[in-house]
Structure formats: structure tokens, C-alpha cells
Structure 1
């Protein structure tokens, strides 16, 4: 089945969105009980963490952790935004670099400038978008913020209606002004982060969108999601890899299967490199990832690294390829951008 379809439905009682590309599950968002990334709090500084350059904060949803807190004193109020998903038992990761983000526009307090996505290469369209932004923001209080705010027009603007782009710019600019003026008071949630349905509309290419209840089952997405609960992933060519999250890290083991040819190890490793980012994305896995490749000559490591870097480049989560260990394992550090798959029969925490 060719083409791209977005499905908006429920999974185990939680709001969920699935992106099906050419008949394959390409991305998956499932809501959880944890604070959503993008949520903005009025928080209160609690206590510094010696040796880590950070501070614990008090929020309505529990303890949060903020890095780089030079000049911040316990008891001070501040505005922070959830930057990712916390590991079980750990504080909510937050940042003071707020972003007000929608499908077409991002308002960036403290980062002035009017920018258009580089993905939009048509100069006439770029000029038209800049003109829309200037018209909308002329006289708007967002331009008088201290420090100044900026605006980024996203790649989705290229095919969008001018009126929709203008409405988005105005909405994000007004939200930014209202939130930034709301510093005084007890800890409070000021903005709720987007749920899976809103995130799908905001971040995914909208071609065909289906939102009828039961569309997961109708489009066989339920079977695709169920496969993610199995540790073993079959690879083209007969090999397979096993993905097993532990409390400390995610272990990935690559095997050649029944192939005993001299090039079997390299073939299985290249296939695993192409597939690994998608599997991590769909399973909601991040943090430290250790890959145990199938046996292959050291001279083939560069080819494997190149394939893995190319696959990671197209993934939205920032992933650092740290290198090889003395035991021949590959170390990765991946940003926690979403919650892991919920346990069977219930929501994620």
C-alpha cells in the first residue's frame, strides 16, 4: 500500500496517533500519565544539586530538574518548559528556553530574528511568508518583550494557505506574551503540552488523515503496534536483532540468522543500522543504547557507521554515536523525546 496515512485513535484507552508510510508503521505517539513535553510551568527553585550545576524545582506535577542555573536562588519563581520524558523515578527534565510551537510558526523568546525554514527554497514564497509575518506582528506586544522574541516559519508553510499561516503566527505570539507575563504566583501549569492527535497534525506530513474510532484496527495498525512488544525484529536477508530495554540502558543484539556466508555479518549489521532508528522511535526508547553487532572484520566498521549515521540523520530525536568500546560494542546516546510503549493492558506511567 503506497502513500502516507495518519491514524488518530485510541490504544489501550490512551489517545494515540500512528503514521503509516507505504504500508509500514513509521511513527507512533501514545499518551501517558507523565507530563507532556512542551508543557510550561511557573515553577519555584527548590535546592541546588552540588557537583551537577543544576537545581531541583517545584512544579504542580512534582519535582523537576533544571541544568545551568547560574544566578538562580532557592525560592525564586521562574518559567520552564518540559524538554523530554523523565526516566522512571527521576525528576521531570525542564529548560528555561521556552518555545511556542505550532504547525506553521515557532515563537522563540530570547532568540530574536525572523527566519524561514531552509527547506522552503522558492524565493517568491519565502518573500510572501516574510510579508505575512511582518503584517501580523506589526505593533504586536511580542516585539516589545525583554529579552526580544523571534519567529521561525516552518517548512509546512510552503503549501499552506496564507490565512492559516497568519492565524498561527498571531496565536503563538499572543500565547507567548500572555505566558511570559504570568511569572508571579505559586507553582502552576500554564500551558499543557500537545497530545498525540495535536502532535500528529503539528509534526507529520498531512496527506490523508483518518480519525474515526476503530481506524487502528481497520488499517491493521493494531497488529503493527503489537509487534513492537516482541524483542526480536526480523531483518531483510534473514538476520534479526533483539532489542531489550533495561533500567540502565537499551541492549541491541544483531545476529545473522541462518546465513553463514563470509559477508553475513556485514549484511546483517547494515540492515540493523537502517532499521534501528525506526524501532527506537516506535518503542519510545532513549538514553544509553549499546549495540552488539554481528561478527564482521574491523575494516567494515566504517561502512556500518556510515549507514547508521545516515539512518539517524533522518530521525527527529537527537542521537549521538559515541563510538566503539574495546569489546567491539557500539555506544549511542539518544534523547528521550517520548514515553516508552505502555505495558500491555494499561497506560504508560
Structure 2
């Protein structure tokens, strides 16, 4: 099955989306449970609670007695109402990470109230099209101090659809920012898995929305295989991804062949497979990779392959480098909810 296919269905009663490219499951999104954390992008009116000395951040009170944490928040006083937006998922028992820099994002446009200026995605390279889009943006954002980013999807889109997107996001931003005072309140829900798939996965060649399509089209089987304890690599080695409370431990094995060439081949294959393995599991946080035995002279090659592999990954990942013990460390943003026991049980 060639091309890009998007499947929208439900798993354990929760909206989920799968992206398949050339017959291979490449991405999977699932909405948090009703009693779980709020999706990324959920916007609240919050009230500043107390600062955290030495960390440059403050806790904020959210509706329902929940707590959020604003990092690098200065000049705020206790009791002050603020508009905040979730940026990721916290570990159990910790406050939800939040930001004061609100983004109103849709398929073609992002309105940025705290960053004025009109910008067109660098991925749109044709100068004539860039000029057309900038002219459209200037017209629709006239009289506003808000900023606007036209996303890469706008390149081949109908101008009427783009204009509708911009107008909707501008109106939403103006409505939210017009009333910052008051008690804690949820103002805008973050996008669920279906909305995220529509917004982030471009123009697929196929979209399947019939109930049960995950099972009939093999998505559940592919997800179960991809999230199993050990992932087989093409050359006979394996990649083991094991999340713990402190970090994500990754182990690379070269199989029964212990020659230097086999180790290098397994490490190269593992470096290319790692972003997908983390993406499908929804994993983020600190990552430590124990590669198969690797001479120091080959480290640069593996690091370059990692950088290339993560460059196209949608989740921001900072590659820190090698430790004195020869492991590789990275830090990945927690903007997805890890697959929980209910979801994994549903795959069986």
C-alpha cells in the first residue's frame, strides 16, 4: 500500500489516529481519558499561587483544584489572574507544565498574540507564493497587534480556506484575551487525536473513518508489534525501549553476531528506528541509549544518523551527546501521553 493513509477510530473508548506511510505505521495519536490530564494546547484562566524560589517559576491554580507550573515566570504576584496554556504532560503527582505565551493554531495558520509580525513558513520556497500569502495575511490581520505564522500547508491550499482559518484563529484569540480577569476557568479545550491528525498530517492520499478500521486495516496489529518489548532490526539485532519513572532506557543488541561490523550495523539501524519507537509509544523525558559495543571513532557517524532521524520527527528532541560511560543521552519534550495499560490491553 503506497502513499500516505490516515485512519481515525477509537481505542478503549478514546479517539485515536494512525498515520501509515507506504504500508508502515509511522505515527499514532490518542486522546487522554476523560479523567486524565488535559490535552496540550488547553487554555485556562488561572490564578498565581506561589513562586518557587531558586527555580524562577510559579505554581498557578486551575479550575477543579488542579495545579499548573509556569517556568521562567517573572513579575507575577500571588492572586494575580493570568491566561495560560498547557505545553505537555507531567509525571504523576507533578503540576502540569504551562506557558504564558499563548498560541492559537490551526491547519494553515498560527496566531501569536505575544509575538507580533507576519511570517511565512520557510518550507514554502516559491517567492511568488510567499508574496501572495503575505499579502493575504496582511489584509486579514489589518488593525491587529497579534502576530501570524502561515504554516507550510498553506502553500497549496485554497485562499478561501486559509482566510477562514486566519479569521477563526484571530477571533478566538481576541475573545480569549479580552477577559483575563476572574476565577480559574477552562477557556479552550486542546485538540483531540482526530483534530490533531487533521491539523498536523497534511493531505493524505487516503482517509478512513469507518468504525473498526483500526482492526480491519491491521492498525492494532501493527501498533502491538511496534510497542512490544523488543523491536527486531533488519540486520538481526534488536532495540529494547523500557520507560522507567526516572528516564527511558534504550538498549541495542547486535544479536548472535559479535563482530565489529555487526555492532556498527545494529547501531545504525537502531539510531534510525529510535524516533519511531518513541513516537508510537508517546514517550518523552530523559533518554539514555546503551548502544552495542562501539569504538569512539564511530560515535560521530551514529550521532549524525540520530540527528538526521530526529530532524523530521514532530516532537522536539534535544540530543545531548555521549556520557563518560559511552551511552548517548537525549531530552524529549513530553507533549504526548504515553500509552497506558488500558490501551495496551486493548491491543491484545
Q: TM-score, normalised by structure 1?
A: 0.95
Q: 2:336 — aligned with what?
A: 338
Give the distance between the partners of 1:279 and 1:320, measured in 2 at CA: 16
Contact 2:253/2:266, CA 8 A, preserved across alignment: yes
SS for the counterpart of 2:260 is: coil
Q: 1:177 — aligned with what?
A: 174
The Cα shift of 1:262 comes to 2.7
Q: Deviations over 1:74-113 (max 9, x none)?
A: 1000000101111111100000010000000100012111
Q: 2:218 — aligned with what?
A: 220
Give the distance between the partners of 2:138 and 2:116, measured in 1 at CA: 14
SS for the counterpart of 1:174 is: helix
Contact 1:274/1:311, CA 8 A, preserved across alignment: yes
The Cα shift of 1:261 comes to 2.9
Contact 1:292/1:328, CA 8 A, preserved across alignment: yes
SS for the counterpart of 1:344 is: helix
The Cα shift of 1:136 comes to 2.2
Contact 2:268/2:302, CA 8 A, preserved across alignment: yes
Q: In the alignment, does 2:8 pair up with 1:5?
A: no
Contact 1:27/1:281, CA 8 A, preserved across alignment: yes
Q: In the alignment, does 2:46 pair up with 1:43?
A: yes
Q: 2:195 — aligned with what?
A: 198
Greater mean alpha carbon deviation, residues 82-91 or residues 94-103: 82-91
SS for the counterpart of 1:309 is: helix
Q: 2:273 — aligned with what?
A: 275
Gaps of 5+ in 1: none
The Cα shift of 1:219 comes to 1.4
Q: In the alignment, does 2:14 pair up with 1:14?
A: yes
Aligned length: 341
The Cα shift of 1:49 comes to 1.0
Contact 2:111/2:146, CA 8 A, preserved across alignment: yes
Q: Deviations over 1:270-308 (max 9, x none)?
A: 100000011101101111111000012111111111111
Give the distance between the partners of 1:218 and 1:130, measured in 2 at CA: 44
Moved over 3 A (4+): 344-348
Q: Deviations over 1:301-339 (max 9, x none)?
A: 111111111111111211111121221111111111100
Q: 1:121 — aligned with what?
A: 125
The Cα shift of 1:342 comes to 2.1
Gaps of 5+ in 2: none
Q: 1:157 — aligned with what?
A: 154
Contact 1:4/1:21, CA 8 A, preserved across alignment: yes
For residue 284 of structure 2, the aligned residue among 283, 286, 304 is 286
Q: 1:241 — aligned with what?
A: 239
Q: TM-score, normalised by structure 2?
A: 0.95
Q: 2:57 — aligned with what?
A: 54
Q: In the alignment, does 2:164 pair up with 1:167?
A: yes
